[in-house]
Amino acid sequence: MKTVSILGSTGSIGVSTLEVISAYSERYRVAALTGGRNIELLASQVRQFRPKLVAVFSEKEARSLADILGPDAPEILFGPEGLVHCAVYPDADIVVSSIVGAAGLVPTMAAIKSGKNVALANKETLVTAGPLIMQAVADNGVKLYPVDSEHSAIFQSLEGHRFCDVKRLILTASGGPFLDKGLKQLESVTPEEALLHPKWDMGQKISIDSATMMNKGLEVIEARWLFDLDASRIAVHIHPQSIIHSMVEYVDGSVIAQMGIPDMKTPIAYALSYPERLPLELPPLDLCQLGQLTFSQPDLERFRCLGLAYQALATGGTAPAVLNAANEVAVASFLRGEISFLDIARIIDGALQGHSVIEPDHVDVVLRADRWGRERASRIIHSLN
């Protein structure tokens, strides 16, 4: 029996994780759950999975949740401290980090420092504080299992091989909903169009990141720290069918890939059950019916965000935290209809250009850079309008 805490249980990854857990209730038990503002869904999860501890966005949501659950309510906490309490809750063997954005950094670090293994979906944690997180993982002797499908694919493709034989990693990208649109058309795409991902059903922020290809940029940074390889050895291929989830090229020319239908339950289950594999009731991958798998190079002119992410990684220090913060602010502003799709890259570029990079020796330095990036991005948005 493994006990699991889930940070962000009401999101897309959180819900899929609970589906895996409920299919294997004899193997997994829930310790703590956290949600943001979707209290109805969190209440139904609490009724079904009976966590001992729950955390929500603020005191207001905590009161609503307590009202809905009545006398059966577990202990309910709120705010950033509530998240940290859930992250370190002693009962859990593994913490699924599936909050969206830099809000996941502090609780994920807390889970690692309290000796928990972590199944990491929240890529922003490694984007903003990769070296600090990997140091904490080493210092505390814990395991960090990737949930992001590309990183799970690489993790699986590395199994049984010598890391010193790796030549490079090849991350695949679907290319998102705007793969075939020209620059002129991209200027006027709407949030509704951007949210319609052709292959994956995900939360709003990562869906927009997929449309700009910032998602792939964040994943290059995530891979850089997770697998300790220089960015020059991490390539990106566009692969619209999303069947090959990523590949590892070895020095002898062999390329090992992991394939499957696009469903996050596969990498989630692998992160929970590693090194075992859980039978999942998913439709089989039918390659004959698919007929062909195609690949191409990403276009960095139409998808500037990918290039900006490589640039921030090369700059190093606090630059990726600023990239991420400016992106979060710009994506939220785009979703509210305040800026155009192509403004997202302009805002991130502007924020990076004005930033004086330092080398963070503590999470607080990263959080300061995050705040700076948010303020800067907000000011740029203001000046655009």
Binding site for ligand NAD (CB under 6 A): 8-14, 35-36, 38, 57, 83, 98-101, 103, 121-124, 148, 200, 202-203, 205-206, 264
Distance of CA 112 to CAs 30, 106, 107, 115, Å? 18, 10, 9, 5
Residue (121 or 366) nearer to ligand NAD, CB = 121
Residue (149 or 157) nearer to Mg ion, CB = 149
- Using CB positions, name the residue nearest to ligand NAD: 11
d(CA 165, CA 97): 30
Distance of CA 268 to CAs 63, 263, 277, 358, Å? 31, 9, 11, 35
Out of Mg ion, ligand NAD, none, which partner does residue 203 contact, by CB within 5 to 8 A per kind? Answer: ligand NAD
Residue (33 or 352) nearer to ligand NAD, CB = 33
Residue (17 or 149) nearer to Mg ion, CB = 149
Size of the chain, expressed as the number of residues it contains: 385
What's the closest the beta carbon of residue 355 comes to Mg ion, in angstroms?
Answer: 26
Q: What is the maximum span of the chain, computed from C-alpha positions, in angstroms?
A: 63
Out of ligand NAD, Mg ion, none, which partner does residue 13 contact, by CB within 5 to 8 A per kind? Answer: ligand NAD
- Using CB positions, name the residue nearest to Mg ion: 148
What's the closest the beta carbon of residue 347 comes to Mg ion, in angstroms?
Answer: 23
What's the closest the beta carbon of residue 13 comes to ligand NAD, in angstroms?
Answer: 4
Out of ligand NAD, Mg ion, none, which partner does residue 274 contact, by CB within 5 to 8 A per kind? Answer: none
Amino acid at 178: F
**What backbone torsions phi and psi does residue 34 show, to the nearest 5 degrees?**
-130, 145
What's the closest the beta carbon of residue 83 comes to ligand NAD, in angstroms?
Answer: 6
What's the closest the beta carbon of residue 337 comes to ligand NAD, in angstroms?
Answer: 19
Residue (259 or 357) nearer to Mg ion, CB = 259
238 in Cβ contact with 175 (< 8 Å): yes
Across the strands, what pairs with 7? Answer: 34, 97
Residue (69 or 357) nearer to ligand NAD, CB = 69
| Residue from 148, 343, 349, 370 binding Mg ion (CB under 5 A) | 148
- The pair of structure tokens assigned to 304 is 């500037």
Q: How many residues bind Mg ion (CB under 5 A)?
A: 3
**Which part of the chain contacts Mg ion (CB under 5 A), choosing from 42-50, 140-148, 270-278, 347-355?**
140-148
Three-state secondary-structure class, residue 145: strand
The DSSP element (H or E) to which 118 belongs, if any, is strand 117-120
**Which part of the chain contacts Mg ion (CB under 5 A), choosing from 145-153, 179-187, 293-301, 305-313?**
145-153
Buried b or exposed e, range 160-194, using 16+ CB within 10 angstroms: eeeeeebebbbbbbbbbbbbebeeeebeebebeeb
Buried b or exposed e, range 103-114, using 16+ CB within 10 angstroms: bbbbbbbbbbeb
What's the closest the beta carbon of residue 281 comes to ligand NAD, in angstroms?
Answer: 18
Binding site for Mg ion (CB under 5 A): 148-150
